Structures are given as structure tokens and as C-alpha cells.
Amino acid sequence: MKREVERKLKLPAFSISVSQLGLLMTRLLALFEGEEKVHVSIDATLKNEKLSFESIGELTSYPHLRGRITDFSIWLSQYGAAGRRVSILSGSLPFDSRSTVSAKAETEAWCAGAIETVHSFLMPHRLWYHWFVVAPIGWILFFLGNVPTVALQFAAKGTVIEKPVVFAWLAIVLTLFVLWIGMGRLLPSSILRVTEEDGFIRRHASELSLLIALASAVLTIVGWFIGKAA
């Protein structure tokens, strides 16, 4: 008889360097036992190619990798009697870009230990927008989209919504919609830093885009209220 248990967990948005990934993999390798070899695979999907490495050393020695990787997967597998496996997968779905850690083994305890090892290691490396990635943007858009209909239902007969209010509502809805459908690209949930980019703007281009979009929406609303008060 062979028993196999699988456990999964969504990870917070994180950013780690290659050396930090090497430390994490060392901790994961320590969980495996037995004489069977642990097979390692680090897969990276770039714009025009897909790369696969069998170790951190092989990754760092590849001369054509620079900057950061946001679409990657890490696999540690040990075949044989135990048949244990741990994987870290970056998010790939358009409306669910969160990364996932998965563990398979013969016992729940081993899976739980592997998942906790990954989760506790990545927690200090969370990105500042980790809270936004898990926010229910779809539901927020649904309720915001119905705000005009609900407002007109309770407004006095003949009430006309002023243009600044409409523009402010559109600005917020469009901003959230763009962020929702492009979450994985604008705010990646997993970043592997191969080399450090030069310049603050280049390193934080996606975060700055989010801040500018949100600031524009907020200023539109504030400007409307100031205009009404005047």
C-alpha cells in the first residue's frame, strides 16, 4: 500500500534574491531523508524563451540572465518509497496571480512541515503591496459598478448626477479594473532577483504605476469636493 497526501497554501507577494532562494532550498533539502537523490528543477519563463536549471549554481552561472524573474517555478522531488515533493509556483491566472506552495508526501506532518518552512521563510520578504494582491478587487468592482443604479434608486426624482462625480467614479472603476486584469504584470506576486537593477524608478516601476493611478483617482474625488465647498 502506498499513501500520498497533498497540501497547498497561497503565499504572500514576495521578492527574494538568488542567494536567498539558495538558503530556502537548503532548508527544504534538509527535510528529505533516505538514499534516493533529490531532484531539483528551477524553471524560468522569459519573454521569448523558457529556461530550466538543476541547481542554484547553474542558474547563477548562466550569463544571459539579468534583472528579475516574475514567472518561475521551483521543484524538489525525491522518488522511491517515500515519493516526496515540494513545489513553489508563481501565479499564472489573469485574475488570481498569487503564488502557491505545494507539498506531496506519505504523511500530513511532512507536508505541513515543508509548507511551513517555505511560508515562514518568505514572510520577512513580503512586498509592500501584499495586502492589495489578496484584496477582493472583483467584488469591489461589482459593488462600485452598481453604485449609480443604487444611488438613483434612493435619490429624489429628477436628480441629475453631476459630471465631476461621474468622472471620479469612472476614474476609480477604470483604475481598479486595469489593476485587476493586469495584476500579475503590474504587481507580480513573486519576484526572483537575479541582478539588482540600477536606479530607484527602474526597480519600482510597477509600484510607482499603482501609486500614480490611485493618486489620480483620489485627487479627482478631492478636487470635486473642494469645488463643491467653494
pLDDT digits (tens, 9 = 90+) for 60-80: 888 888 888 888 999 999 876
Query: What global pTM score does this model have?
Result: 0.74
Which are the contacts of 177, defined by CB distance < 8 A and separation ≥ 6?
Answer: 141
For the chain, the domain total comes to: 1
The closest of 118, 95, 124 to 182, measured between CA atoms, is 95
Q: What is the mean pLDDT of the chain?
A: 79
Q: Is the pLDDT of residue 210 over 70?
A: no
Confidence bin at 125 (pLDDT 50/70/90): very high
Which residues constitute the domain of residue 80? 1-230
Average pLDDT over residues 120-144: 81
